[in-house]
Structure 1
Amino acid sequence: MDATNSIIHLCSGGTSVVLDCIGSEMPIIAYWGAEIKNASQAVLESVALVTRTQAVSGGLERSPRLSLLPLASQGWQGTPGATMLRTSTGKFCFDFAVDSIDKTDSCIAVHASDPDGVQVKIAVEVTPSGLLSQQISVSNTDGREGLQVHDVAVSFPVPASAREILDTTGRHLRERQPQRHGFTVGRHVRESRRGRPGADATLVVAAGTPGFGFERGLVHAVHLAWSGNHRITAERGPSYSPFIQAAELLEPGEITLLPGETYTTPVALGSWGQGLSQLSHRFHEHLRQRTHHPAAPRPVTINTWEAVYFDMRLDRLKAIADAAASVGAERFVLDDGWFNGRRDDTAGLGDWFVDRTVWPEGLQPLWDHVDKLGMQCGLWVEPEMVNLDSDVGRNHPDWILRPDPNRLPVAGRSQYVLDLSNRAAFEYILKCLDDVLTQHPMIRYLKWDHNRDLLEAGGADGRAAVHNNTLAVYRLMDMLKQRHGGLEIESCASGGARVDFGILERTDRIWTSDCTDPLERLTIQKYTNLIVPNELMGAHMGPAHSHTTGRTHGLHLRAGVALLGHMGIEWDLSQVESKDLDQVRDWIQLHKKWRHVIHTGRAVYADLPQQTGADVRGVVAKDAQKAIYTYVQMQTSQTYPPAPVTFPGLDHDRIYTIQMVNTPATDQASFVGQSDLPWLHAIQPCTLTGQMLASVGIQVPNLLPETLIVFEVHAL
């Protein structure tokens, strides 16, 4: 359509977006939220009209409004949507006029241009899952000179009622820790300069009504689908409405467009909901609607890292495989230490071929053994990294990202980062991985690690290279999957330091954290679940004594915390007593019984007061016919006996039965009440409506701290 006055309504997945388009001005999102029913033209025009503001004293003659690309030329006084420079003339101000808008039912493409030879295309879509997707392309159409692109940000308006911000921070072994504060005037900035999102990265910046939780409060959030440097900000000004922006963080000179070249931002995704659970479901469904989303049941996975570390003895690995198969594991992943020179973490990275001094017959004897046990085969790799003590490190030091030819950046874990934007380095790594997969066709799974940050990441030309390397990693994964149909990839990065929709578009699982301590995992998994659905979230039960925290926990807590994810084992099962193996088997059987619901249903979390010391989370089947919940008494409760707890997410009008699962791993000594709990010992199962379970709840047993029990709920 031509750039004339119009109101555009995009609607899909229960979400409506109304765009106010005035002449050749950049469109403005007048509304983003719940689907507008009976959206007549008159209603849509009124939505746009009532959101237009007026000029006020002491300000400009044009009231600032947040457009799809807010700039000073529009009277915008907040953070601009783009910062660019014509180096020869010093021009830094641009004024884009809309040339045309292409539209379908759920998406538009806005084409606009500046007289100085710059064009932009802004793609706006409401996805089938109800996410608001935006992406901006900037093209240098001037045939004479370059254009430096410093920053291009995608902007999302949020309601004026959004007075509280939630994001996450963290560190290695303790990712995704929530933090909240008031959404006051000013700019809240979360950014990563690590060349990857990082363990401290926030998956989303969310803004909502004060006190919003998982089941209450209107909340909007934005995620950037990008695995490199990035920035997400929340901003509020006295003269303009609050908004969230997301952008790739570009180093100086990283993007200079020559005539005819284009820079395209990562996709930014916005979600909303009445509570964080509803907001999260839109992200989950977006990933589940991928054409390549795993269709087969997610196999229970045993990973060898904490079981053996670098001790690559075939007999020991076979014994672990035997024990794993006996308890129901379905995939065996050989972790770090199998390739040339890799006797510890100081050498070998880059030499991706089997170390014959350790494996004189190669890996095939192990794969044959695993295959005979009925398990799938997986292998650990870290293709983006190199040790100086390796053939590649010695022969191709020019392949390493560095600030200049004479200086390396600070080392991390005795390793450096390969410049995969270097064609020779890329082709070498591609061939190595291709050869490994071709020579070992039983390997259908790669655990793809990334164990250090990128600092001073310069390419061969001396310019910042994080952008190009991020795209190269995507291309490498895509090519391997194209060449090896059915190959699955797990994204690991010092645990959970690379979790984003950019990497998830081409991977099938994420390693949530290197920490398997169940108390730590409760928070890590809860907030990873903001965007990552359960079936893609690696959750392993480890040994009783945690390797990362030194704490000791019972099997019911370790296995129960892993129950609602993509379940796995990080433990030398060959050293476990038979009675404990029986309990591991029971937990795996319980997971398999509920696996379809866990991996297709809606994840929910109860908003319990902190004083309860408890955690309730669950998964409700898509048809709300049944659900499974875990209840954890993390610490002693302020009330004694504990207060009733609620079970969210069920159909409020249906009647359900609820019962505690008798898992052999649950030590009855953990039940410390002085009398029976009446409803647990009633002759007939208790029947309650979904509304009662969500609002009133039930009295739970009095438990010792660090105890977990499981509840099953079924509709009558």
Structure 2
Amino acid sequence: MSIHYDELKKVFHLQSKDTSYVIQLTKQGYPAHLYWGKKVRGLQLDRLLEFKERASFSPSTDMSQLALSLDTLPQEYPTYGSSDFRTPAIQVALPNGSTVSELSYASHTIRSGKPELAGLPSVYTEQDDEAQTLELTLKDELTGLTVVLAYTVFVNFDAITRSATIINNGSSTLQLQRALSMSLDFAHDRFEMLQLSGAWTRERHVHKRKLEPGMQSVESRRGSSSHVQNPFIALLAEGADEDHGDVYGASFVYSGNFVAGVEVDQFHSARLFMGLNPFDFNWRLEAGERFQTPEVVLVHSDQGLGGMSRSFHDLYRSRLTRGQFRDKTRPILVNNWEATYFNFNADKIESIAKVGQELGIELFVLDDGWFGKRDNDKTSLGDWFVDRNKLPNGLEDLVGRVKRLDMQFGLWFEPEMISPESELYREHPDWCLHIEGRRRTQARQQLILDLSRADVREYIVRVISDILSSAPITYVKWDMNRNMTEIGSALLPPERQRETAHRYMLGLYEVLEKITSSFPHILFESCSGGGGRFDPGMLYYMPQTWTSDNTDAVSRLKIQYGTSIVYPVSSMGAHVSAVPNHQVGRVTSLETRGNVALSGNFGYELDLTRFTEEEKETVKEQVALYKEVRHLVQFGDFYRLLSPFEGNETAWMFVAKDKSEAFVVFASVLQEPYPKLDRFRLKGLDPNRDYVLDGGEGAYGGDELMFAGLKVPQFHGDYASRVYRFRAL
């Protein structure tokens, strides 16, 4: 059993592979958080809950137990207004205008498996014996407000998921103003908070800060998870680093507005919380209706950040992503975007594909510009029909040309958008997100379709399905190139306008479910100006994401390193592009561009017809190497060795699950005269096995590689790199 309930002590003990999570019900029925950490047997865990009377400014909830105050009780799902002054998980406006509620235990169930979340992406089980789920029902007796807290604990993963179902069992309409997915209180604040922050072309950089009294949080109000903040935070205990110490990670399975943070109170306890952003959010909950919050995935590791990351990687790779490509190695592709931008025709595309075939590339992807009158980014989004000026014989002819080269064919879409200069907008100007009388703010000369509307969703599913059915297309890049403004819907009544952003996400998930399930043979890759929607919600529908529009190899060291904190390498698109780089103007060698891109779903994004014969030979070697190691890169255990955020050098490696082989990437940014003679240590190998290095002499002991290390390579010139491939004897 993974979930144990002690009826006498009112203690729930949730046990995953190596983790325990413990809840106790107070005599008043408040669920109190006792413990989350390394797995324990749990003989006397109820002794962890301590009551101590504080000043009158932390008022007593029960006059028969003056030491009990909700302001100091470590809680699982705190409410607002009934004596807890800290950040609440839920806030509800009642018909009388008040926003006070109080939830206490009503019942619970423990079941095998993991129920699906209605209309939302979530981690799943394939067999009921993989997990158990605790459903803890809380109720506000005065209003009939009911909250069902769901906790799923996995047998083979160090992960616990949390979500909340909010039900109006009263007779009056309630206004849900705040509906977080989880909250829990630590007994102390001795943590660093790690977040993944950045901007377009600078996504998911690692930032750490020591917790201080008050609020520290990250959030998005952009209508998507965003380039700026990722829906993830981790707490690192004192002394924790990449390989050692307690780390607590929280990841939000959602693609829209979110908030995640920690509040440190006056007594130095830390409240961790995560969920839908309450900013500009309100949900009208009629009598008998229910509201489902998205899911939070919690991972504890006592082996530092690396241990936490590998737990997320294994879970997300095998129990979040779905479909035929979940367990398949991904093809090597070439994308024409940076090669041609909008200026191409069928002959040019075929010429690039022909060289790609000669180099061993397996998939050609036609990017933006093939539809409507799309000669620039000012027009035609929404007009999903082929531009006959560029492709006079249609898409079928071009796909046929590429297929005859024994290559697969992929296509770019931006289905959520509409151009004011388009046939669709002229026919349906009310289909975009807008507020009557207000300016319709454009970004990249485009507006956003209102996916809260059924007619808009039906249109998208129909036109995209028609294109995908018209030719043997095996890959789709699904892009989204702006954030939300004037968030309103022409079909929603005034009292529901603040539901628009979340209804949009529910509509998007419905569209994605229909299209991806109708075309299971197609590999879908999500994109939002690169990594602007790199989140678990999108990975549920599409097993990989374009990591960043920045293809510069040096920039990618930080972007890919930061992304790996949560997301498996099998989810990252990584391409070799031209130099000078189109985003930052940097010139790096083809070798280094290739070595960095090998650490992801590998491809090229440049004009292959411009390669010299020498460059073609280099590319052939890169392609051949990736075909040999991609099973490692995409499905092996990932170890970070040297951080680009802490020095001039970056290194990481991939190790087979059976430790039979490994692939290592080392990169150096700037060179110095007379550099120190140093070593870097490998990780994850079998210390009792010997390994042979491709191109090297003799064997290395696994213990030698991990404890003594390898010589740091000496380079001549900046932006240099090297890869190593080891195989066990």
What's the TM-score once normalised by structure 1's chain length?
Answer: 0.91
* 1:285 maps to 2:314: yes
From 458, 465, 468, the equivalent of 1:427 is: 458
From 417, 425, 437, the equivalent of 1:406 is: 437
Task: Work out whether residues 4 and 24 of structure 1, in 8 Å CA contact, stay in contact via their aligned partners in 2.
Answer: no
Give the equivalent residue in structure 2 for 1:102.
109
Q: Distance in 2 between matches of 1:24 and 1:132?
A: 26
Task: Work out whether residues 214 and 604 of structure 1, in 8 Å CA contact, stay in contact via their aligned partners in 2.
Answer: no
Q: Distance in 2 between matches of 1:48 and 1:352?
A: 61
Read off the aligned partner of 1:154 and give its amino acid letter: M
SS of residue paired to 2:528: coil
From 50, 53, 66, the equivalent of 1:52 is: 50
Give the equivalent residue in structure 1 for 2:126.
none
From 661, 667, 671, the equivalent of 1:636 is: 671
Read off the aligned partner of 1:48 and give its amino acid letter: D
Bigger drift between 610-619 and 93-102 goes to: 610-619
Task: Work out whether residues 4 and 21 of structure 1, in 8 Å CA contact, stay in contact via their aligned partners in 2.
Answer: no
**Identical columns (%):** 29
Bigger drift between 588-597 and 4-13 goes to: 4-13
Task: Trace 1:244-393 onto structure 2 (pairs within 5 A).
Answer: 244-252=272-280, 254-273=282-301, 274-290=303-319, 291-292=322-323, 294-393=326-425
User: Which structure 2 segments of 5+ residues have no match?
Assistant: 60-66, 112-130
SS of residue paired to 1:482: helix
Task: Work out whether residues 378 and 445 of structure 2, in 8 Å CA contact, stay in contact via their aligned partners in 1.
Answer: yes
Read off the aligned partner of 2:336 and give its amino acid letter: T
- Structure 1 residue 304, shift from structure 2 partner: 1.2
Q: Distance in 2 between matches of 1:362 and 1:213?
A: 55
Task: Work out whether residues 12 and 106 of structure 1, in 8 Å CA contact, stay in contact via their aligned partners in 2.
Answer: no
Give the equivalent residue in structure 1 for 2:589.
554
SS of residue paired to 1:268: strand
- Relative to structure 1, the CA distance from residue 148 to residue 655 in structure 2 (aligned partners, 3 Å threshold; closer, same or farther) is closer
Task: Trace 1:564-713 onto structure 2 (pairs within 5 A).
Answer: 564-607=599-642, 613-636=648-671, 640-651=675-686, 653-657=687-691, 659=693, 661=694, 684-690=697-703, 692-704=704-716, 705-713=718-726
- Relative to structure 1, the CA distance from residue 602 to residue 171 in structure 2 (aligned partners, 3 Å threshold; closer, same or farther) is same
Read off the aligned partner of 2:445 and give its amino acid letter: S
Bigger drift between 204-213 and 68-77 goes to: 68-77
What's the TM-score once normalised by structure 2's chain length?
Answer: 0.90
Q: Distance in 2 between matches of 1:289 and 1:410?
A: 40
- Structure 1 residue 16, shift from structure 2 partner: 2.1
- Structure 1 residue 125, shift from structure 2 partner: 1.3
- Relative to structure 1, the CA distance from residue 608 to residue 331 in structure 2 (aligned partners, 3 Å threshold; closer, same or farther) is closer
From 501, 510, 518, the equivalent of 1:483 is: 518
Give the equivalent residue in structure 1 for 2:114.
none
1:301-341 residue CA offsets vs partner (Å, 9 max, x unmatched): 11111111101311110010011111121111110001111
From 421, 443, 447, the equivalent of 1:416 is: 447
Q: Distance in 1 between matches of 2:645 and 2:216?
A: 26
Q: Distance in 2 between matches of 1:341 and 1:487?
A: 26
- Relative to structure 1, the CA distance from residue 609 to residue 409 in structure 2 (aligned partners, 3 Å threshold; closer, same or farther) is closer
- Structure 1 residue 612, shift from structure 2 partner: 5.5
* 1:532 maps to 2:585: no
Give the equivalent residue in structure 1 for 2:68.
62
- Relative to structure 1, the CA distance from residue 21 to residue 74 in structure 2 (aligned partners, 3 Å threshold; closer, same or farther) is farther
Task: Work out whether residues 612 and 642 of structure 1, in 8 Å CA contact, stay in contact via their aligned partners in 2.
Answer: no
Read off the aligned partner of 1:617 and give its amino acid letter: W
Q: Distance in 1 between matches of 2:272 and 2:264?
A: 9
Read off the aligned partner of 2:47 and give its amino acid letter: L
Read off the aligned partner of 2:232 and give its amino acid letter: V
Read off the aligned partner of 1:289 and give its amino acid letter: S
Give the equivalent residue in structure 2 for 1:121.
148
- Relative to structure 1, the CA distance from residue 480 to residue 593 in structure 2 (aligned partners, 3 Å threshold; closer, same or farther) is same
What count of residue pairs does the alignment treat as equivalent? 684
Task: Work out whether residues 158 and 243 of structure 1, in 8 Å CA contact, stay in contact via their aligned partners in 2.
Answer: yes
Task: Trace 1:145-164 onto structure 2 (pairs within 5 A).
Answer: 145-158=173-186, 160=188, 162-164=190-192
- Relative to structure 1, the CA distance from residue 301 to residue 647 in structure 2 (aligned partners, 3 Å threshold; closer, same or farther) is same
Q: Distance in 2 between matches of 1:217 and 1:170?
A: 26
Q: Distance in 2 between matches of 1:136 and 1:212?
A: 31
Give the equivalent residue in structure 2 for 1:665.
none
Task: Work out whether residues 419 and 447 of structure 2, in 8 Å CA contact, stay in contact via their aligned partners in 1.
Answer: yes
- Structure 1 residue 15, shift from structure 2 partner: 2.3
Give the equivalent residue in structure 2 for 1:676.
none
Read off the aligned partner of 1:363 and give its amino acid letter: L
Task: Work out whether residues 2 and 99 of structure 1, in 8 Å CA contact, stay in contact via their aligned partners in 2.
Answer: no
* 1:167 maps to 2:195: yes
Give the equivalent residue in structure 2 for 1:177.
205
- What root-mean-square deviation, in Å, do the aligned CA atoms of Structure 1 and Structure 2 show? 2.2
* 1:12 maps to 2:51: no
- Structure 1 residue 253, shift from structure 2 partner: 5.6
Read off the aligned partner of 2:153 and give its amino acid letter: V
- Structure 1 residue 637, shift from structure 2 partner: 5.5
Q: Distance in 2 between matches of 1:407 and 1:609?
A: 45
